[in-house]
Each structure stands twice: as C-alpha cells, then as structure tokens.
Structure 1
Amino acid sequence: MRQPRVAEIVASSLRSRILSGALADGDMLPKQEELLAEFGVSPPCIREAFRILETEGLVTVIRGNVGGAIVHVPHPGTAAYMLGLVLQSRSVSLLDLLNGMRLLEPACAAEAALRPDRATSVLPRLRANIDASAAAIDDPAAFIGLARAFHSELVNNCGNETMSLVVGALEKLWTAQVETLAVDRSVHGTFADRALRLSLLSEHERIYRAIEEGDATTAERAIREHFSGGGERRHGFDTSVTVKADTLRY
C-alpha cells in the first residue's frame, strides 16, 4: 500500500480539526510558524497541506505577508454544488434529475411519517408551508417557490440525516433550475392555471395528513402519485436540457 506523504498527514490532521468542530467556520488555521513547530516539517510541506485543503474547499488561503487560511465547514449547499458539477460534466438532463427525486423522495416521506417527534419536528413546517401556499394561490410566481419549499422542508426534516443530505442536494439542484427557468424569467408554465395550483395544494395536504397520521405507506404512495401525476412536471420548460450547477446559489 502507498504510504501517505507527510503533507497528506498534516492535511489529514487539520481536516479532522475542521470536521470535528475544533475549528469553526471562519476561523483561521494556525500560522505557518506554529504548524512548523507542531509537526516538525518544512515550509513547502505546510504549503502543500494547505493546497490539499483548499482543493477540498475546506479552506481559503490568503497569500502575502499577512496571509493565512480561513476555515470553511462543509454544508449541504456545497454538496449540492459539487454534485451539480458532476451531473453537468456528464450532460445529465433535468428529466434524469427529476426521476432521481421521484425514486428517492417517497422514502423521505415514509421516514417523516415514522418520526415519533413528527408533531414538533416536521409537521409545523409543512403546515406553515401549506398555509402560505393557500394564501399565495393567486400569485403563480410565489406559489411556485412555496411548492418547491414544501418538498425541501419534507426532505430536510425527514429524520434521516444521510437521506436529508443526499436527496436534499437533488432538491436544491432542481429548485435552482426551477428558479432560473420558471421564476426568474416569469415563465409559469401550467402553474398559470389556478385549478392546477389548487390541485397541487390538495396533493400536498394529502401528503401532510398521511405523515400526521404516521402512515408511512400512504405517505410514500402519496408522494409517488404526486410525481407520477405530474406534480413536478408542470413547469412548462424543457426538461431535456442539461443540469447547470452555476444556477445554484449556496
């Protein structure tokens, strides 16, 4: 097996401090002189360790006499952006992204329904979203944003951190595409139809009720039917176009 280089060992130690919370977002890494004394290595080794962490997005290196390295704790937006870059490099279509959500989000709905603390953890957020959507029923642009936020709230609060991160990254990417193609350009597609907005609101209400009752099977089925019935395909833009990571603001 290949032995790690000294710079990789230094980078691994500093990375552990960042990921453990010993170094907070916005903190500065120790000065080079301190690291030289701590690790007993050469300046080029410390600089290479900094480059490794900078490539990973964990630090921003400020060069010059008053330089240093600013810590960046990883967050979900970063994961979504990196995933978006990979999808864009492979020319993955919006329809493919949408189908991924269609397959995975029902499992998040089931998890949310099984949360013993759902009455305080997820239901109030979904209820607030549904009420806001009802209030915005005559504003297509506002309704589009709220309809997307319903799905984000569901995924982010499903209770499984891994699924929240993975499926949440897909949600962030899809929402960014919707904002660019539908909202920013005021292209409301079939959302311009008030009857359709009311139908979507009713579907969200059905999902909410299933989660409220702790019925994982019905919650999962309700989300699946929501997608299959076109719940997320009613925007009126071309889903054959490629995912664009640079639409994501994180």
Structure 2
Amino acid sequence: MNVERPIAPRRLKQPRIAEIVADGLRQRILSGELKDDDVLPKQEDLMAEFGVSPPCIREAFRILETEGLVTVLRGNVGGAIVHVPQPLTAAYMMGLVLESRRASLFDLLTAMRILEPACAATCAERADRHATVLPKLRKVLDDGIAAIEDPNAFIGLARQFHTVLVANCGNETMSLVVGSLEVLWSAQVDTLARNASQHGSFADLAVRQSLADEHERIYRLIAEGDARGAEQAIREHYSAHAGERKHGFDIEAPISAARLKA
C-alpha cells in the first residue's frame, strides 16, 4: 500500500536585505522626498536606520546606480547623488532599444504621425487649456515667427512646438511615451539637419512660412476646443507636402541614441 507523503510547503523566496534597503531609498526618490542632486544619507546613518552591514548598503547603492537613480561617489568623498527620473532618460533608453532593432528614422517619424494627433485632440479637450497649453504654444509660435529668417533657429523652434504640445496634453502617460519619441526625433534633427549645409527644403523661406502657418492653424483649433479638427490638422501637417519637405538627411538611416547626448 502506497502512502502519500505530505507535500512540503514551498518556501517563499525572501527578498535580499540589500533590495529592501534599495526599495526604501527608491521610494524616497520617486515620492519627491529626495530631490534631484540631493545626497543620500551617509553610509553610517543608513546602517543605523536599517540595521544592516556596510556591504549591504554598498549593494543597495549599486542597485540604485544600475537603475540610474543615483551616482555613487567613490574614494574619500563617498556618498551618492540622487537623480530623479527624467523624460530624457526614458527617451535615451527607448532610443537604445530602437537602435538595437535597427529601426529607421522613417519608422520613428511614422510613429509620431500616428500618435501625436491624439495628443493634439487631448490638448483641445483640456478645460484649462487657456492657462496650461495655449500660452506655451503661443510663445513658441511667436519666437518662430521672429526667427523665421534664420533656418537653423526656426527648425529648432518648429520642433519645440511639437514637444510643447505633447508635454502639455494633460495625460502623463501620453506625455511621457509620445514625448520620448519627440525628444528622440528632435535629437536626430538637431544633429543631422541644423547646419547650413543640411537645412533641406527648410532653407526655403516659403516652406518655413507654410510650416508656421500650419502650426498657427493647429493652435487655433486647440484654442477653439475643436479636438477632432486639431487631430486632423496634425495628421495633415505630417502628411501634406511630404514629397516637398525634405529634411536634408537620409530618412531611411538608422536611429542613433547617441544623438541625445550630442
């Protein structure tokens, strides 16, 4: 007769002590208790607070440094400098992944053509848009008109119109995800197009004026609260005259995350 043996309960894996310490410090950074460029408490203070050994604190610092949340200062100075997560960090990591997949600039631009119209519609739906969105867009538009004779300056301000629109759409997730694409694309433009030899069709004043007029139309539709109109205007803005608006660089070239650090 076979006697069934009782099944031993599975042991739950206990989190390492260093991970518990790292989690506590991480929460202080993400909650805003610790600000950008703050210095983490001294190792001795953390040892006393958490009741752990020096190797444990060093391992917790290593975990946070790997996540980009701190920079550990070695040597006699010691300590760790806090880095609050920024959109640029997300854009860089996204750029690395896209670069590893050999994604092209055209692939990135296509994603923005699909996603940015939703941000424009969301801007138009904001009840507080006259205080939160429109003043920022107005300033960029006015600065662009003032700089319209300078292709190099105008290209940067034209890009800024899009990044400001996305950043202020009122949805944090969209602002971060689509905004990361905007930042990544702007870095490609900054490196490849903003010099005297590669302005492409933007060297033509008429093209720059047409672009400014389209931005003005998008601004007006957002001001009127016309979500569908703003969405369609952005879509047409990306699509219309696509054959004429050459950026002056190879749109099929691969994305480079390093351009974010240029």
Length-normalised TM-score, structure 1 = 0.95
Secondary structure in 1 matching 2:217: helix
Q: Which amino acid aligns with 2:122?
A: E
- Once the 2 structures are TM-superposed, how far is the Cα of residue 58 of structure 1 from its aligned partner? 0.5
User: 1:24 maps to which residue?
Assistant: 35
Provide Cα deviations, 1:28-65, integer angstroms capped at 9, x if missing partner: 11111111112122221111111000000111111123
Does the alignment pair 1:236 with 2:248?
Answer: yes
Provide Cα deviations, 1:162-212, integer angstroms capped at 9, x if missing partner: 111111111111001001000046410011122211211111111111101
Contact 2:29-2:35 at 8 Å conserved across structures: yes
Does the alignment pair 1:116 with 2:130?
Answer: no
- Distance across 2 between alignment mates of 1:213 and 1:153: 18
Contact 2:201-2:245 at 8 Å conserved across structures: no
Contact 1:227-1:233 at 8 Å conserved across structures: no
- Distance across 2 between alignment mates of 1:80 and 1:233: 25
Q: Which amino acid aligns with 2:228?
A: T
- For these two proteins, the number of residue pairs brought into alignment is 250
- Distance across 1 between alignment mates of 2:163 and 2:210: 19
Out of 220, 225, 235, the position equivalent to 1:214 is 225
- Distance across 2 between alignment mates of 1:61 and 1:50: 7
Q: Which has the larger radius of gyration?
A: 2
User: 1:101 maps to which residue?
Assistant: 112
- Once the 2 structures are TM-superposed, how far is the Cα of residue 230 of structure 1 from its aligned partner? 4.6
Q: Which amino acid aligns with 1:57?
A: G
Secondary structure in 2 matching 1:66: coil
- Once the 2 structures are TM-superposed, how far is the Cα of residue 157 of structure 1 from its aligned partner? 1.1
Where does structure 2 lack aligned partners over 5 or more consecutive residues?
Answer: 1-11
Q: Which amino acid aligns with 2:66?
A: T
Does the alignment pair 1:194 with 2:200?
Answer: no
Where does structure 1 lack aligned partners over 5 or more consecutive residues?
Answer: none
- Distance across 2 between alignment mates of 1:195 and 1:218: 24
Contact 2:152-2:196 at 8 Å conserved across structures: no
- Once the 2 structures are TM-superposed, how far is the Cα of residue 239 of structure 1 from its aligned partner? 1.1
Percent identity, aligned pairs only, is: 69
Secondary structure in 2 matching 1:183: coil
Q: Which amino acid aligns with 1:73?
A: V
Does the alignment pair 1:11 with 2:22?
Answer: yes
Secondary structure in 2 matching 1:243: coil
- What's the Cα RMSD here? 1.7
- Distance across 2 between alignment mates of 1:245 and 1:24: 27
Q: Which amino acid aligns with 1:41?
A: V
- Once the 2 structures are TM-superposed, how far is the Cα of residue 136 of structure 1 from its aligned partner? 2.1
Contact 1:141-1:186 at 8 Å conserved across structures: no
Contact 1:158-1:164 at 8 Å conserved across structures: yes
- Distance across 1 between alignment mates of 2:158 and 2:83: 31
- Distance across 2 between alignment mates of 1:170 and 1:230: 22
Q: Which amino acid aligns with 1:247?
A: R
- Distance across 1 between alignment mates of 2:196 and 2:13: 52
- Distance across 2 between alignment mates of 1:113 and 1:239: 31
- Once the 2 structures are TM-superposed, how far is the Cα of residue 66 of structure 1 from its aligned partner? 2.6
- Distance across 2 between alignment mates of 1:55 and 1:233: 41
